[in-house]
């Protein structure tokens, strides 16, 4: 069908809700094409898109279709899988509760058990619930840190990690086989609750998750002496973090926590921020204001589904320094390894995991403690797979995993990024440096002096719609086939094409990569700098990752500026 035919089919559907019909009627031709030229695709972590009418938008029919596909996948696994069921949670965005409960109704129509949270909950608690209730899958309704116009649908496997490629591909096939999203059957919600096929979760699951969080902090005595009166400012940025983070900090002994109350209310419009993204310093404006008032040592912000955390630290002049995702990862890794070493609890087979586009600084830190580093593709499901592999073989003990995009996991009772875990440990690390008369900023300086001055920058370029998708493909082809031999007057020593699974060195020798195929290109320079190019798996973006190392931070940052300039010139 053409996009015009699909548009007309939606317009002709008599039971279409008024708000979606109004959306259709208001569309100009370009918007019609973008809304219907394709179906919203599953990427690294499910699907994410603009809220609105259309097959390339997120709406109740697209959600029903995705869940119908999931129901078919569960059915293919047998009656036991149907009884084990699917855990479902949702964040504070527009239509999130409706999408969650309608998903449960689609599953119930197939006789599949579901566990749905009574109100908004963090993504890590959904991952925990999948494991706690031995569910065969999970659904998280969220668009992570995207602006208010977005929502999304993330699918989890039975390990509590984002669904691995095998099942994800099968799910995609089931979804594509559904030709009429308007014909999907829904069970009655109240009858399904009464019968128990839809079970509503609440405080009892919160308590169990909070109990697991008690093991996150490594040195409770340190917290008692130096952390109990340490000033911390926390903002949930209108999202799910408010549900548990305040309680978790109090439970761990951090008693001087100030909340940005104007951002503690769930608000689908995120009315106090342009974008609820803790990667951005702009999202910290109100936290900084409160921080200056109370002279807070550290500011913490979680995104709407509380799987990512941003950190700012007070400097000597009273201003706040917005740490990068890689710097937070370095602080966490260094402290975990050092604290366990001091306590005599660092295992001989300690292992850390990170994505291929995250800093090599943490690799250096791991090696200095005799720990192994495992590099995986972008997507926390690949870290979850490694955790499972470690548990199955007992070859390694998982200590920490992270992605540069502000996602961290300390303890694997959750199998996805967990900002609440990270908040607790960052607070402990701040107390540790305070015990030495230092700040987290000093901690970063110590790490640089010991391991080298590493700098990183991620550039995201949004290219929306059909034209944007074609531009992204064109850029990837240009880099793959015609990349320069040098950047910043430095030779490329290794070119890795993760789609072709090949690594080509400067002499032309080709070796085989062991990661699954993925549309990522990575160029390592002879001075150990590198950059990578990849399309986002869940957004209409292409991302450029640049990482350098120098004799000083200024030198490393100058290298980044030069490489960025040359990338821009090459892309045109």
- Measured CA to CA, the distance from residue 52 to residue 24 in angstroms comes to 9
pLDDT of residue 466: 80
Place of tokens 């531009």: 471
Contact 271, 292 (CB under 8 A): no
Q: Any bridge partners for residue 114, and if so which? A: 86, 198
Q: What is the mean pLDDT of residues 78-107?
A: 98
Query: pLDDT tens, 415-431?
Result: 999 999 999 999 999 99
- Measured CA to CA, the distance from residue 261 to residue 66 in angstroms comes to 36
**pLDDT score of 67 more than 90:** yes
Range with the poorest average pLDDT among 75-89, 90-104, 216-230, 534-548: 534-548
Place of tokens 């995702």: 325
Q: pLDDT averaged over the chain?
A: 95
Q: Sheet containing 232-235: which strands, arranged edge to edge?
A: 257-259, 232-235, 298-302, 309-314, 320-322
Q: What is the DSSP string of 481-521?
A: HH--SEETTEEEEEEEETTTTEEEETT--EEE--SPP-S-E
Query: pLDDT tens, 131-144?
Result: 999 999 999 999 99
pLDDT of residue 464: 82
CA nearest to 141, candidates 88, 187, 193: 88
Residues 453-571: name the CATH superfamily.
Alpha-D-phosphohexomutase, C-terminal domain (3.30.310.50)
Range with the poorest average pLDDT among 280-289, 432-441, 466-475: 466-475
CA nearest to 407, candidates 277, 314, 313: 277
User: Where in the chain is CATH 3.30.310.50?
Assistant: 453-571
User: Where in the chain is CATH 3.40.120.10?
Assistant: 38-208, 224-451
Query: pLDDT tens, 152-204?
Result: 999 999 999 999 888 999 999 999 999 999 999 999 999 999 999 999 999 99
Q: Who's near 76: CB < 8 A, 6+ residues apart?
A: 170
pTM over 0.75: yes
Query: pLDDT tens, 490-544?
Result: 999 999 999 999 999 999 999 999 999 999 999 999 999 999 999 987 678 899 9
Contact 117, 90 (CB under 8 A): yes
H/E element holding 88?
Answer: strand 86-90
Query: pLDDT tens, 320-334?
Result: 999 999 999 999 999
Helices 465-482 and 29-36: crossing angle, nearest 10°? 60
Q: What is the DSSP string of 321-351?
A: EE--HHHHHHHHHHHHHHHHHHHT---TTEE
Query: pLDDT tens, 314-367?
Result: 998 999 999 999 999 999 999 999 999 999 999 999 999 999 999 999 999 999
pLDDT of residue 316: 87
Listed in sequence order, the DSSP H helices in 196-302 are: 203-213, 220-222, 245-252, 285-294
Structure-block tokens of residue 474: 């064109």
CATH of domain 38-208: 3.40.120.10
Given pLDDT bands bounded at 50, 70 and 90, which one contains residue 469?
confident
CA nearest to 138, candidates 119, 121, 153: 153
* CB neighbour burial string for 558-569, b if at least 16 within 10 angstroms, e if fewer: ebbebbbebbee
Given pLDDT bands bounded at 50, 70 and 90, which one contains residue 467?
confident
Q: What is the DSSP string of 530-545?
A: EEEEEE-SSSSEEEEE
3-state secondary structure of 309: strand
Contact 336, 151 (CB under 8 A): no
Given pLDDT bands bounded at 50, 70 and 90, which one contains residue 563?
very high
Active site residue 271: no
pLDDT of residue 44: 61
**pLDDT score of 565 more than 80:** yes
Residues 224-451: name the CATH superfamily.
Alpha-D-Glucose-1,6-Bisphosphate, subunit A, domain 3 (3.40.120.10)
Given pLDDT bands bounded at 50, 70 and 90, which one contains residue 383?
very high
Which residue of the set 96, 144, 192, 355 is catalytic?
144
Q: Sheet containing 350-355: which strands, arranged edge to edge?
A: 372-376, 350-355, 397-403, 407-409
Q: How far is CA 198 from CA 104, 203, 561, in A?
A: 7, 17, 54
Query: pLDDT tens, 211-259?
Result: 999 999 999 999 999 999 999 999 999 999 999 999 999 999 999 999 9
Query: pLDDT tens, 105-131?
Result: 999 999 999 999 999 999 999 999 999
- Measured CA to CA, the distance from residue 39 to residue 350 in angstroms comes to 43
């Amino acid at each position: 069908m053409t996009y015009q035919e699909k548009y007309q089919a939606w317009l002709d559907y008599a039971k279409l809700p008024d708000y979606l019909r109004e959306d259709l009627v208001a569309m100009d031709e370009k918007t019609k094409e973008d809304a219907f030229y394709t179906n919203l695709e599953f990427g690294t972590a499910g699907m994410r898109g603009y809220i609105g009418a259309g097959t390339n938008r997120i709406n109740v029919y697209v959600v029903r279709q995705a869940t119908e596909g999931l129901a078919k996948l569960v059915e293919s696994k047998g009656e036991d899988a149907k009884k084990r069921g699917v855990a479902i949670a949702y964040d504070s965005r527009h239509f999130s509760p409706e999408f969650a409960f309608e998903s449960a109704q689609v599953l119930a129509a197939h006789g599949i058990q579901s566990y749905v949270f009574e109100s908004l909950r963090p993504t890590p608690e959904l991952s925990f619930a999948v494991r706690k209730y031995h569910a065969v899958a999970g659904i998280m309704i969220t668009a992570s840190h995207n602006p208010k116009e977005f929502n999304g649908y993330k699918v989890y496997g039975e390990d509590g990690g984002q669904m691995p490629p095998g099942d994800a591909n099968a799910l995609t096939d089931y979804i594509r086989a559904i030709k009429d999203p308007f014909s999907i059957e829904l069970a009655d919600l109240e009858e399904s609750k009464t019968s128990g096929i839809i079970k509503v979760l609440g405080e009892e699951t919160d308590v169990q998750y909070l109990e697991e969080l008690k093991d996150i902090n490594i040195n409770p005595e340190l917290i008692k002496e130096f952390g109990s009166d340490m000033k911390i400012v926390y903002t949930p940025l209108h999202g799910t973090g408010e549900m548990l983070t305040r309680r978790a900090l109090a439970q761990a002994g951090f008693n001087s926590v100030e909340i940005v109350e104007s951002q503690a209310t769930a608000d689908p419009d995120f009315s106090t921020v342009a974008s609820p993204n803790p990667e951005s310093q702009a999202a910290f404006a109100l936290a900084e204001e409160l921080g200056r008032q109370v002279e807070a040592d550290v500011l913490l912000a979680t995104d709407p589904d509380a799987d990512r955390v941003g950190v700012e630290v007070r400097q000597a002049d009273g201003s706040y320094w917005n740490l990068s995702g890689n710097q937070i990862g370095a602080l966490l890794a260094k402290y975990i390894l050092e604290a366990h070493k001091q306590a005599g609890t660092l295992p001989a087979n300690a292992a850390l995991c990170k994505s291929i586009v995250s800093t090599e600084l943490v690799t250096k830190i791991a090696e200095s403690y005799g720990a192994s580093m495992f590099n995986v593709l972008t997507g926390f499901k690949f870290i979850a797979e490694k955790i499972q592999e470690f548990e199955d073989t007992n070859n390694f003990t998982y200590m920490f995993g992270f992605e540069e995009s502000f996602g961290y996991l300390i303890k694997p009772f959750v199998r996805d990024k967990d900002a609440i875990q990270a908040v607790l440990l960052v607070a402990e690390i701040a107390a540790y440096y305070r015990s030495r008369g230092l700040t987290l900023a000093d901690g970063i300086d110590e790490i640089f002096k010991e391991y080298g001055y590493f700098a990183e920058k991620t550039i995201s370029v949004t290219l929306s719609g059909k034209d944007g998708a074609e531009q992204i493909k064109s850029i990837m082809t240009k880099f793959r086939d015609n990349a320069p031999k040098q950047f910043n007057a430095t030779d490329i020593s290794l070119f890795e094409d993760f789609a072709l699974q090949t690594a080509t060195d400067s002499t032309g020798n080709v070796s085989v990569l062991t990661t699954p195929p993925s549309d990522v290109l990575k160029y390592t320079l002879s001075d150990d700098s590198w950059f990578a190019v990849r399309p986002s798996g869940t957004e209409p973006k292409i991302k450029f990752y640049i990482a350098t190392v120098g004799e000083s931070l200024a030198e490393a940052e100058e290298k980044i500026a030069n490489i960025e300039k040359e990338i821009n010139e090459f892309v045109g």
